């Protein structure tokens, strides 16, 4: 059964550059788990750590199922020569996909080890137990053998069957416990953790000289302007791509600032005030997701008709650390270190960019600053590859803050239009939801989808992959008898756009849950009670009630319209992520200064049900983070542009929430040990904006339908 080291690579590891979004799943046990001679366990995942703690959660799963101590499990993640191809780390899928694969692999490994021990110790399987990687006989504890002794450095050489028996979750001792994240001690001590910290012998430094606007063309470049700049190794110019490689980092910064370049720009963007009419007027691909009952006649016969349109601007991922990558392009082997969410897909795309066979590109993921979707990391990897190829040495490319703000793909701008009909008793008799959106997924499967590819080819127009993401949470989970839900995909986004946490889930929930509030107010019914009327599901009801209870929700219709300059209010919002994943309800308590329009959120309460909880404290961390980040987006964030350029280029032109503005966040975790664990990376980012908008309405009677809820917009809504 077991084989020596050399013959183990029958599986997918390092074998292919799969184009599929979720990669190529392998059932080969050795692709997932290795028992090392020193008693440690190496577990391999094709997913990557994006700063959310999945490395710890996956190690917990392996430790649990294999019965080894947590600190003996070492995770190797996102390396095209070492780990399985699991495509992109996205969609809160890491626990359910990689976690499930690792759980099954660990269970199979444990079973094989027990069978080996049974033979070796001459004790029946049922008479054996495992503790901390040691198998011993129940009645004769001195008869024992370790995992490491049984394996002897060899491999399992077997598949994981689909029907492998895993542990009953009721017996868990590691999964479900708050396990401190293994990365935090290294991060607070200043160890080398991030891609920005990586240093390769002989490495040069580089900065880019990007065009001032997307689509600008290079007219002239005066290399003589760098005469006084020391350390310049090469100015790499290919069509509209310019990068400068230097001996030292500060030289690259100085050179990039000093290089005299002339660009021809064009007014290619719509005026910002016309953004939403532009989105509505572009050609669309229309998908009717739900068409239940006869909406048109129900709408016509409704006692009251409500109609509202909601607006979501472009948002920046705005990672705190601008993207960085290191590339070493040699004749025989190309090695790229990058904080990409998709090591395998990116390695294939970079191979196409360089026109080399895919197996020549070894892509190694190294953690970057939190990315929350697709930031500039893949683009930076391509830039680094081009620069290393040009100088024949390893190059570390660091994007500037402005590079990141201007050139990262943005979360798409969207328009959501909702119509709802009430009967004379205040029941919802008709619901029509339409959303206009660019695709939320534009992952780089071809070089033209990377900024460098566009600059090289001189083809600035963003090309999109398949249309995806705007349907997420476009349908609600409310039991409306007559409803229609339509997604209109815009083929051509004014700004380059790609995935940001929850894709369209947050924006659709903002619209759906704001409109539910508008209907509840029109019906004169408490917002919580109104929602519960259309939610027969017990889990959904419990999430909403738990949030309301912790928030001290008092039942009454909105608005309450407090008197005085400082109006107080509370709002609630609910989402069932992707309609069948995690459930979330948020309550916001706000204070609105009606003289200035300033909104201060005093407290958020979030109730969360994601099935079985793997790491309660890690989950709380994620929920707090999602809540604060989505509050920042709702209150402050909007990518500004004019017809020529993106104007949000730094933290002053794209401010985010600061410590003085952050509210308290109360959390209720609902654990469901009997149900599968589903992702928690994104769901709690969806409900914040609507909860806050609904609270502003409760406080003032003013309805905010456009994100962000700036003081100017609040004042306009008040008058």
| Nearer to another protein (CB atom), residue 198 or residue 521 | 198
Distance in Å, CB of 98 to another protein, minimum: 19
Distance in Å, CB of 634 to another protein, minimum: 13
Q: 106: buried, middle or exposed (CB in 10 Å: 19+, 13-18, 0-12)? A: buried
Say if CB 437 and CB 508 are below 8 A apart: no
Distance in Å, CB of 82 to another protein, minimum: 23
| Nearer to another protein (CB atom), residue 13 or residue 396 | 396
Provide the 3-class DSSP secondary structure of residue 277.
Answer: helix
DSSP 8-state secondary structure symbol assigned to residue 368: -
Distance in Å, CB of 384 to another protein, minimum: 16
CA 270/CA 313 separation, integer angstroms: 13
| Nearer to another protein (CB atom), residue 205 or residue 445 | 205
| Nearer to another protein (CB atom), residue 184 or residue 491 | 184
Distance in Å, CB of 402 to another protein, minimum: 9
* Residue 703 vs residues 206, 422, 557, 571: alpha-carbon distances, Å: 48, 19, 15, 12
Q: Which helix (H) or strand (E) holds 205?
A: strand 204-208
* Bond before 559 cis per omega within 30 degrees: yes
According to DSSP, the residues that pair with 500 across neighbouring strands are: 373
Distance in Å, CB of 367 to another protein, minimum: 7
Distance in Å, CB of 632 to another protein, minimum: 8
Which two three-digit tokens encode residue 7?
């013959």
Q: 10 Å Cβ neighbour count for 267? A: 12
Say if CB 436 and CB 414 are below 8 A apart: yes
Binding site residues, another protein, CB under 8 A:
50-53, 180-181, 183-185, 187-194, 196-197, 199, 205, 230, 248-250, 253, 318-322, 367-370, 372, 398, 400-401, 617-618, 621-622, 624-629, 632, 650-652, 656-660, 662, 664-665
Provide the 3-class DSSP secondary structure of residue 274.
Answer: helix
| Nearer to another protein (CB atom), residue 423 or residue 617 | 617
Distance in Å, CB of 357 to another protein, minimum: 34
| Nearer to another protein (CB atom), residue 197 or residue 642 | 197
Distance in Å, CB of 201 to another protein, minimum: 13
| Nearer to another protein (CB atom), residue 369 or residue 470 | 369
CA 477/CA 265 separation, integer angstroms: 47
| Nearer to another protein (CB atom), residue 323 or residue 434 | 323
Distance in Å, CB of 194 to another protein, minimum: 6
Distance in Å, CB of 646 to another protein, minimum: 16
| Nearer to another protein (CB atom), residue 14 or residue 322 | 322
If we measure between CA atoms, which residue out of 512, 495, 493 comes closest to residue 573?
512
CA 186/CA 191 separation, integer angstroms: 5
DSSP 8-state secondary structure symbol assigned to residue 392: T
CA 105/CA 82 separation, integer angstroms: 16
| Nearer to another protein (CB atom), residue 324 or residue 444 | 324
Whole-angstrom Cα Rg for the chain: 27
DSSP 8-state secondary structure symbol assigned to residue 646: B
Maximum CA extent, the chain: 84
Report residue 580 CA to chain centroid gap: 18
Say if CB 56 and CB 618 are below 8 A apart: yes
Distance in Å, CB of 250 to another protein, minimum: 5
| Nearer to another protein (CB atom), residue 322 or residue 453 | 322
Distance in Å, CB of 479 to another protein, minimum: 33
Provide the 3-class DSSP secondary structure of residue 142.
Answer: coil
| Nearer to another protein (CB atom), residue 530 or residue 654 | 654
| Nearer to another protein (CB atom), residue 184 or residue 716 | 184
| Nearer to another protein (CB atom), residue 368 or residue 494 | 368
CA 583/CA 580 separation, integer angstroms: 8
If we measure between CA atoms, which residue out of 247, 240, 174, 238 comes closest to residue 207?
247
CA 92/CA 89 separation, integer angstroms: 8
CA 306/CA 527 separation, integer angstroms: 16
Tokens 């959106």 — which residue?
437
According to DSSP, the residues that pair with 263 across neighbouring strands are: 218
Which two three-digit tokens encode residue 477?
């989970």
- Indicate the length of the chain as a whole number: 719
Distance in Å, CB of 182 to another protein, minimum: 11
* Interstrand relation of 395-398 and 204-208 (parallel, antiparallel or unpaired): parallel
């Amino acid at each position: 059964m077991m084989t020596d080291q050399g013959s183990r690579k029958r599986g997918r590891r390092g074998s292919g550059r799969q184009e599929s979004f979720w990669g190529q799943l392998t059932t080969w046990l050795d692709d997932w788990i290795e028992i090392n001679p020193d008693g440690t366990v190496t577990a391999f995942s094709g997913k990557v750590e994006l700063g959310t703690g999945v490395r710890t959660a996956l190690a917990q799963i392996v430790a649990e199922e294999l019965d080894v101590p947590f600190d003996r499990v070492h995770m190797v993640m996102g390396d095209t020569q070492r780990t399985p191809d699991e495509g992109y780390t996205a969609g809160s899928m890491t626990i359910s996909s990689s976690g499930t694969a690792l759980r099954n692999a660990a269970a199979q490994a444990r079973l094989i080890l027990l069978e080996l021990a049974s033979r070796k110790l001459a004790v029946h399987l049922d008479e054996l137990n495992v503790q901390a990687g040691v198998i011993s006989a129940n009645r004769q504890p001195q008869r024992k053998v370790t995992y490491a002794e049984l394996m002897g450095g060899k491999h399992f050489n077997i598949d994981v069957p689909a029907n492998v028996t895993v542990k009953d979750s009721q017996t868990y001792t590691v999964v479900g416990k708050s396990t401190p994240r293994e990365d935090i001690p290294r991060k607070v001590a200043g160890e080398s953790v991030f891609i920005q910290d990586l240093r390769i012998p002989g490495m040069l430094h580089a900065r880019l000289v990007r065009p001032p606007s997307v689509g600008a063309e290079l007219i002239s470049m005066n290399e003589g302007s760098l005469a006084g700049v020391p350390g310049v190794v090469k100015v790499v110019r290919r069509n509209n791509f310019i990068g400068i490689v230097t001996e030292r980092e500060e030289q690259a910064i100085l050179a990039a600032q000093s290089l005299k370049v002339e660009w021809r720009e064009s007014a290619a963007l719509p005026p910002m005030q016309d953004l939403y009419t532009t989105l509505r007027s572009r050609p669309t691909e229309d998908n009717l997701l739900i068409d239940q009952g006869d909406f048109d006649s129900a709408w016509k016969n409704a006692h009251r008709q409500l109609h509202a349109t909601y607006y979501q601007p472009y948002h920046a991922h705005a990672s705190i650390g601008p993207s960085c990558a290191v590339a070493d392009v040699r004749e025989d082997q190309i090695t790229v270190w990058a904080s990409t969410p998709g090591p395998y897909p990116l390695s294939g795309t970079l191979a196409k960019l360089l026109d080399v066979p895919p197996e020549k590109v070894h892509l190694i993921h190294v953690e970057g600053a939190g990315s929350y979707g697709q930031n500039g990391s893949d683009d930076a990897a391509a830039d680094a590859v081009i620069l290393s190829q040009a100088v024949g040495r390893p190059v570390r490319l660091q994007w500037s803050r402005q590079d990141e703000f201007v050139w990262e793909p943005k979360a798409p701008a969207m328009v959501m239009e909702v119509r709802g009909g009430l009967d004379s008793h205040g029941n919802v008799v008709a619901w029509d939801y339409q959303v206009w959106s660019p695709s939320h997924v534009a992952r780089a499967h071809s070089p033209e989808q990377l900024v460098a590819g566009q600059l090289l080819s001189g083809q600035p127009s963003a090309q999109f992959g398949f249309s995806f993401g705007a349907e997420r949470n476009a349908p609600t989970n409310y039991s409306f008898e007559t409803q229609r839900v339509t997604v209109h995909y815009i083929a051509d986004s004014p700004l380059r756009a790609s995935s940001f946490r929850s894709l369209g889930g947050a924006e659709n929930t903002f619209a759906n849950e704001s409109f539910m509030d508008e209907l509840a107010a029109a019906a004169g019914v408490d917002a919580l009670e109104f929602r519960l009327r259309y939610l027969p599901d017990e889990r959904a009801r419990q999430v909403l009630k738990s949030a309301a209870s912790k928030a001290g929700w008092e039942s009454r219709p909105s608005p309450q319209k407090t008197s005085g300059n400082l109006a107080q209010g509370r709002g609630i919002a609910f989402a069932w992520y992707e309609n069948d994943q995690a459930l979330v309800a948020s309550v916001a308590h706000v204070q609105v200064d009606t003289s200035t329009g300033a909104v201060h959120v005093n407290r958020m309460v979030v109730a969360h049900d994601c099935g079985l909880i793997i790491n309660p404290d890690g989950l709380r961390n994620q929920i707090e983070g999602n809540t604060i980040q989505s509050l920042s987006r709702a209150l402050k964030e909007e990518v500004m542009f004019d017809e020529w350029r993106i104007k949000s280029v730094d933290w002053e032109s794209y401010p985010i929430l600061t410590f003085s503005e952050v509210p308290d966040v109360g959390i209720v975790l609902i654990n469901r040990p009997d149900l599968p664990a589903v992702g928690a990376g994104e769901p709690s980012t969806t409900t914040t904006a609507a909860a806050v908008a609904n609270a502003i309405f409760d406080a003032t009677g003013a309805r905010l339908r456009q994100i962000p809820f700036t003081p100017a917009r609040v004042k306009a809504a008040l008058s």
